[in-house]
Structure 1
Amino acid sequence: MIMYLLMMLTAAVVSYAATWGARALGNGLRLYRPIRSRDMHSELISKLGGLGIFAGFLVALVVSSNSFFVKDIFAHNDAPWGILAGAVVIVAVGVTDDILDIRWWIKLFGQSAAALIVAVWGVRMSVIPFIPEPVVIESELVRIVLTAGLIVTTMNAVNFIDGLDGLAAGVAAIGGVAFFLTAYWVHRNNPQTDNSDLATLLMAILVGSCIGFLLHNWFPAKIFMGDSGAMLIGLLMASAGIVATGQIGSGLYDRANGIPTIIPILLPFAVLSLPLLDFGLAVIRRTARGQSPWSADRGHLHHKLVDLGHSHRASVVMLYVWTSILAFGGVAFAVFPWQLVLTLDLAAAFIMAVVTAWPYFTKKSSRPPSEV
C-alpha cells in the first residue's frame, strides 16, 4: 500500500506543478476557444490542463518502473508502455482539438488509433465475465476490437461529463479511489507471492494526477482539462478495467474471499456509471433529433442540475455524492452481503434523489395557485 500511495503522491505533485506550466503556456500564447452557448463559464480559459494530468501519469509511471515492489509489474511486461503509447496519441489528439476544434470524425479516428495501440501493444480483453463460467475469447481480432471499443466508449463517457469546474476530475478521482481500494484488497488477500498489480498502480497514478489538477480546476477554474485530459482519464480507467478482467482466468478473483467472477468487468462500469449514463442519454437524445452522437448540446446531467436551480458548486458536489454512491455502492457487493449493500444503496439513492429534486418541489410549491 505504501508504494502505491507514494506513486499517487508523485503523480499529484507533478500534475499540480505541470498544470501551472500549462496555465502559463495557454495564457501566454492566448490559446483560448470561443465561449459557446452551452458553456458554463463566462471568461476565456485555457483548455491545456490535460498536459498537467499527462505529466503526472508519465512521471509516476517511469518512477514506478524503477521503484521497489511496483517495479515487478514491469518485469517482462510491455503492457504499461503500450498504455503509455496510447496515452501519448490521445493527448496529442485532444490538445489539437482543444486548440483547433477539429471535426468530430477526425477526433473519433484519433480515439480509435489510440485505443488500437493499447489493444495491440498494451492490454486486451481475453475473458468476458459470465455466470456461471467466464467466456474465453479465442480470436485475437475479436479481443482487439472489443478492447478498442470499450476504450473509445469510456473516453467519450468521461469527455461528455466534463462540463463544470472540477466535475470530471473529481468524478474520476472518486471512482478511481473505489477501483483502487477494491483492486488492492483483492491482491492483498490472495495467496500469490507477488501482490503487485498494474490495475491498482494505474488507479493510484490516475487518482493522484486528478487531485493535483483539481487544485487548479475547482470552481472558479483557472484552467480546464480539455479533451486531452478527459480522454486520457477514460483511456486509463478502461485499461485498468481490462487488466482486472484479464485476471479472471487465473482464478485470482475466485480465491480472494469468493469474489464473483463478474466483479472485475463491472468495476469500471460501476465507478464510471454516471458518465456512462450521461453518455448513453446524450447518444439517444442526439440520434433522436437526427444529429450526430458527437454533436454538442446543452442537455447533459450537469446542465440539467444547474437549470433546475442548483448553483455551480452545489451541482458538482451532488454529482460527487452520486458518483460515490454508485462507485462505492457497486464495489461493496464484492465485499459485503448483497442484502445489506442493496438496502444501504437504495436508502442513499432515495435521500440524494430528494436532495437533487428539492429545487423543483420548492419552485412548484411557491407558485400562485393559478400557476400550479
Structure 2
Amino acid sequence: MIFLLITAVAAVVTFVATRVVLAVALKHGIHPPVRDRDVHSRPTPRLGGVAMCIGVLGAFGVAALIPELSGVFAEPARIWTLLAGAVAICGIGVLDDLVDLDWMLKLGAQILVATGVALFGVQIVSLPIAGITVPSATTAIMLTVLIIVLVMNALNFIDGLDGLVAGTTIIGSTAFFGYIFIISQNLGQQNAYFSLASLITSIIVGVCLGFLPVNWHPARMFMGDGGALMLGLLTAASAIAVTGQIDIGTMGGRSQILPAFIPVLLPLAILLLPLTDFVLAVVRRLLNGSSPFAADRKHLHHRLLDMGHSHLGAVLIFYAWTAVVSVGCLVFLMQPWWVAVGIMAVGFIVCALLTAAPVSRRVWRTFLRVLRERRAARRGLEPTTIDARVETSIDQGESR
C-alpha cells in the first residue's frame, strides 16, 4: 500500500505538471520543427521530461515523510546524488532537444553524470550470481558508469513512437518490482520490502503513468531526450541498487540454477528491445562510416512501420514483446523451469506471428492473385474482372 501511494503521488504530480508544461510550451511556441526521420506530421513540444522530473522530485519528497522508508533515507547523500543526477541529465536532454547538442558533448555529459552517481549514489558492489564480489572499487565504478550510460541511450534510441518508452517502461518496471517483492518475501525480513530499488521502481511506474495520457497516440507532447535519459538513469539505478544487496544463491525454490541468474537476466529482459535496437544502430552507423549517435530512420520501430504496421500497432507489439520477456523471467521464480520455458515459448510464437502479420497478409494476397490468374487462364476469362471482385471481397473481410 505504501508503494501504491508513492506511485499514485508520482502519477498525479506528473499529470498536473504535464498540463502546465504543455500550456507554457504551446503559448511560447517551444517546439522544434518536424524532422525527416520523425513519424509525426505537426510540431509537438518535447518538454515532457521536465514534467516527469517534477513528478520524480515530488514523489521522493513524499516518500521522505513516510516512517517505513526512513532506512532508505538514512544515507541522504545517496538520495541527493541520485536526484541531482536525474535533474542534470534531464536538463542536458532538454537542452539537446532545443539546440541539438554535438553527440560528443552529450555523451561526455552522460558519462560525467553517471560517474557522479556511481561515486556518491549507487554502484555495483557484487555480482548477483552467488555473491561474486567485484575485484576493485575502480572496476565497480567503471562497470556502473557503463551500465548507466548504456541503459540511458538504449531507452533514448527507441523513443520514436507515441507512448512507446512510457508504456514499455511501465511493463518492465512493474515486473521488476514484482521480482523485488518476491525476493523480499524469501528473505523473511520486514525491512527488506522498503529498499531504494523498490522506491525508485514505484516512482518510475507512477511518472510514466502520469505522462502517458498526453503521450498516447496522437501525442500532444513528447518526453524528449530529457525524459528518456532520466528514465534510463533511474531504471539502471534501481537494478544496480538491488543486485548488490541480495544473494539469490541463498534463496530456496523449485530450481536453484535458473533463479540465480534472474538478477542479471531480468534487467536485460526488460531492456531487451531497447538494447537490441541500440546495438544494431551503433553497428549500422559505424559500418556506414558515420557517428554511432547520428540519427536515422532505421530503428526497430521504423522498420515495423515500414512492414505495414500502424503507429498504434507497432507500439502494442513492443508492449507485447516486453511483457512476454519480463513476465516470463518472473515465472522462473514461481514455477518449474519447464513450465516457464513453455509459457515463454508460447508468448514468443504469438509475438512473432503478430510482428510478421503484415508480411504474411501480403504473401497470402500475392498467392491468391497468382492462383486466380491461373484459374482465369484455364477458363479463358480476363483476370482483371475476377481480381476486382475478389480484391473487394478480401478488403471487406479484412475490414471486418
Map of 1:185 onto structure 2: 182
Map of 1:38 onto structure 2: 37
Q: CA separation of 1:78/1:266 partners in 2, compared to 1, >3 Å: closer, same or farther? A: farther
Alignment partner of 1:262: what SS?
Answer: helix
Check whether the contact 2:259–2:332 (CA below 8 A) recurs between aligned residues: no
Map of 1:221 onto structure 2: 219
> Partners in 1 of 2:202 and 2:326 — Cα distance?
16
Map of 2:363 onto structure 1: 364
Aligned counterparts, 1:120-139, within 5 A? 120-130=119-129, 133-139=130-136
Matched to 1:314, the amino acid is G
Map of 1:263 onto structure 2: 262
How far residue 88 of structure 1 moved from its aligned partner, in angstroms, is 1.4
How far residue 283 of structure 1 moved from its aligned partner, in angstroms, is 1.2
* Pair 1:322-2:321 in alignment: yes
In the comparison of the two structures, how many residue pairs are matched? Answer: 366
* Pair 1:145-2:139 in alignment: no
Alignment partner of 1:194: what SS?
Answer: helix
* Pair 1:160-2:157 in alignment: yes
Check whether the contact 1:157–1:275 (CA below 8 A) recurs between aligned residues: yes
Check whether the contact 2:31–2:43 (CA below 8 A) recurs between aligned residues: yes
How far residue 334 of structure 1 moved from its aligned partner, in angstroms, is 2.6
Matched to 2:9, the amino acid is T
> Partners in 2 of 1:9 and 1:71 — Cα distance?
20
Check whether the contact 1:89–1:110 (CA below 8 A) recurs between aligned residues: no
Q: CA separation of 1:136/1:277 partners in 2, compared to 1, >3 Å: closer, same or farther? A: same
Aligned counterparts, 1:216-255, within 5 A? 216-248=214-246, 251=247, 254-255=250-251
Check whether the contact 2:31–2:44 (CA below 8 A) recurs between aligned residues: yes
> Partners in 1 of 2:363 and 2:134 — Cα distance?
54
Map of 2:395 onto structure 1: none
Map of 2:397 onto structure 1: none
* Pair 1:54-2:50 in alignment: no
CA offsets per residue over residues 6-34 of structure 1, 9 Å max, x none?
00000000010111111112212212112
Matched to 2:180, the amino acid is A
CA offsets per residue over residues 293-338 of structure 1, 9 Å max, x none?
1111111111111111111111111111111011111232233221
Gap runs ≥5 in structure 1: none
CA offsets per residue over residues 213-236 of structure 1, 9 Å max, x none?
001100010000000000011001
Matched to 1:322, the amino acid is W
Check whether the contact 2:72–2:196 (CA below 8 A) recurs between aligned residues: yes
How far residue 42 of structure 1 moved from its aligned partner, in angstroms, is 0.3
RMSD over aligned CA atoms reads: 1.8
Map of 2:209 onto structure 1: 211
Check whether the contact 1:3–1:70 (CA below 8 A) recurs between aligned residues: no
Percent of counterpart pairs with the same letter? 41
Map of 2:168 onto structure 1: 171
Alignment partner of 2:293: what SS?
Answer: coil
Check whether the contact 2:248–2:260 (CA below 8 A) recurs between aligned residues: no
**Greater Cα offset, 105-114 or 226-235:** 105-114
How far residue 193 of structure 1 moved from its aligned partner, in angstroms, is 4.1
Matched to 2:365, the amino acid is S
Map of 1:106 onto structure 2: 105
* Greater Rg by CA: 2
Structure 1 stretches (4+) deviating beyond 6 angstroms? none
Instruction: Give TM-score scaled by structure 2 length.
Output: 0.88
Matched to 2:202, the amino acid is A
Check whether the contact 2:49–2:226 (CA below 8 A) recurs between aligned residues: yes
CA offsets per residue over residues 100-137 of structure 1, 9 Å max, x none?
1111111111111111111011000111234xx44211
How far residue 238 of structure 1 moved from its aligned partner, in angstroms, is 0.4
Instruction: Give TM-score scaled by structure 1 length.
Output: 0.94
Check whether the contact 2:131–2:249 (CA below 8 A) recurs between aligned residues: no
CA offsets per residue over residues 319-369 of structure 1, 9 Å max, x none?
111110111112322332211111110111111111210110111222343
Check whether the contact 1:247–1:253 (CA below 8 A) recurs between aligned residues: no
**Greater Cα offset, 19-28 or 71-80:** 71-80
> Partners in 1 of 2:157 and 2:98 — Cα distance?
18
How far residue 55 of structure 1 moved from its aligned partner, in angstroms, is 1.0
